[in-house]
Amino acid sequence: MHHHPRTDATGPSDDDAVSHSVVSQTPEDILAYWTQERMAESEPREIRLPEPEAEAEPEEN
Protein backbone atom coordinates (compact mmCIF):
# COMPACT_ATOMS: atom_id res chain seq x y z
CA MET A 1 0.00 0.00 0.00
CA HIS A 2 1.34 3.37 -0.88
CA HIS A 3 1.55 6.14 1.60
CA HIS A 4 0.44 9.51 0.29
CA PRO A 5 1.92 12.23 2.45
CA ARG A 6 0.74 15.77 2.15
CA THR A 7 2.93 18.52 0.75
CA ASP A 8 2.52 22.15 1.64
CA ALA A 9 3.08 25.37 -0.24
CA THR A 10 2.82 23.68 -3.62
CA GLY A 11 2.86 26.19 -6.43
CA PRO A 12 4.77 29.21 -7.63
CA SER A 13 7.27 30.46 -5.09
CA ASP A 14 8.50 33.99 -4.45
CA ASP A 15 8.63 34.65 -8.15
CA ASP A 16 6.43 33.06 -10.78
CA ALA A 17 9.29 31.43 -12.65
CA VAL A 18 9.89 28.79 -9.98
CA SER A 19 7.48 26.41 -8.26
CA HIS A 20 8.28 24.49 -5.14
CA SER A 21 6.84 22.05 -2.66
CA VAL A 22 7.68 21.91 1.01
CA VAL A 23 7.51 18.34 2.27
CA SER A 24 5.49 17.97 5.44
CA GLN A 25 6.79 14.50 6.30
CA THR A 26 9.66 14.06 8.67
CA PRO A 27 12.89 12.58 7.25
CA GLU A 28 12.34 9.59 9.49
CA ASP A 29 8.94 8.93 7.92
CA ILE A 30 10.38 9.09 4.40
CA LEU A 31 13.31 6.85 5.20
CA ALA A 32 11.01 4.34 6.89
CA TYR A 33 8.83 4.28 3.78
CA TRP A 34 11.65 3.10 1.53
CA THR A 35 12.01 -0.53 2.40
CA GLN A 36 14.31 -2.68 0.28
CA GLU A 37 11.23 -4.21 -1.31
CA ARG A 38 9.74 -0.85 -2.33
CA MET A 39 13.05 0.33 -3.73
CA ALA A 40 13.43 -2.85 -5.75
CA GLU A 41 9.92 -2.60 -7.14
CA SER A 42 10.07 1.08 -8.12
CA GLU A 43 9.44 1.74 -11.78
CA PRO A 44 11.78 3.84 -13.90
CA ARG A 45 10.12 7.19 -14.67
CA GLU A 46 11.04 8.20 -18.16
CA ILE A 47 9.90 10.30 -21.08
CA ARG A 48 9.95 8.36 -24.30
CA LEU A 49 8.56 10.37 -27.20
CA PRO A 50 6.96 8.74 -30.25
CA GLU A 51 9.43 7.57 -32.82
CA PRO A 52 9.87 10.24 -35.48
CA GLU A 53 8.48 9.58 -38.93
CA ALA A 54 10.84 7.45 -40.97
CA GLU A 55 11.15 10.09 -43.66
CA ALA A 56 12.17 12.66 -41.07
CA GLU A 57 14.93 10.49 -39.71
CA PRO A 58 18.41 11.74 -40.57
CA GLU A 59 20.51 9.44 -42.65
CA GLU A 60 23.20 7.47 -40.89
CA ASN A 61 26.65 7.43 -42.29
Partner 1 sequence: MTKSKTLATSLLSLSAAALLAVCAAGGASAAPASPQNASHQEGAQVASQSVDGSNAADYWTADRMRAAVPGDVLAAKALERGNTSSAAAVEKGSSTRITGKAGKGKTVLHVDENPVSHIGKVFFTMGGSNYVCSGNSVVSNNKSTVSTAGHCVNEGPGAFATNFVFVPAYLDGAAPYGKWAAKALYTPTQWSSAGDMQYDTGFAVVSPLNGQNLADVVGSSGVQFNAARGLTYKSYGYPAAAPFNGQSLVSCTGAASDDPYNPQFNSQGIPCDMTGGSSGGPWFIGTSSGGYQNSINSYGYSGAPSKVMYGPYWGSVIQQAYSSASSSAN
Task: Please give the radius of gyration of the chain, using alpha carbons only, rounded to the nearest integer.
Answer: 20
Cβ partners under 8 Å of residue 20, min gap 6: 9, 10, 13
Distance CA 32, CA 27 (A): 8
Q: Minimum Å distance from CB 56 to partner 1?
A: 6
Give yes or no for residue 17 binding partner 1 (CB under 8 A): yes
- Single out the residue of 41, 55, 59, 61 in contact with partner 1 (rule: CB under 8 A): 41
Give yes or no for residue 59 binding partner 1 (CB under 8 A): no
- Interface contacts to partner 1, rule CB under 8 A: 2-5, 7, 10, 12-23, 25, 27, 30-31, 33-34, 36, 38-52, 56, 58
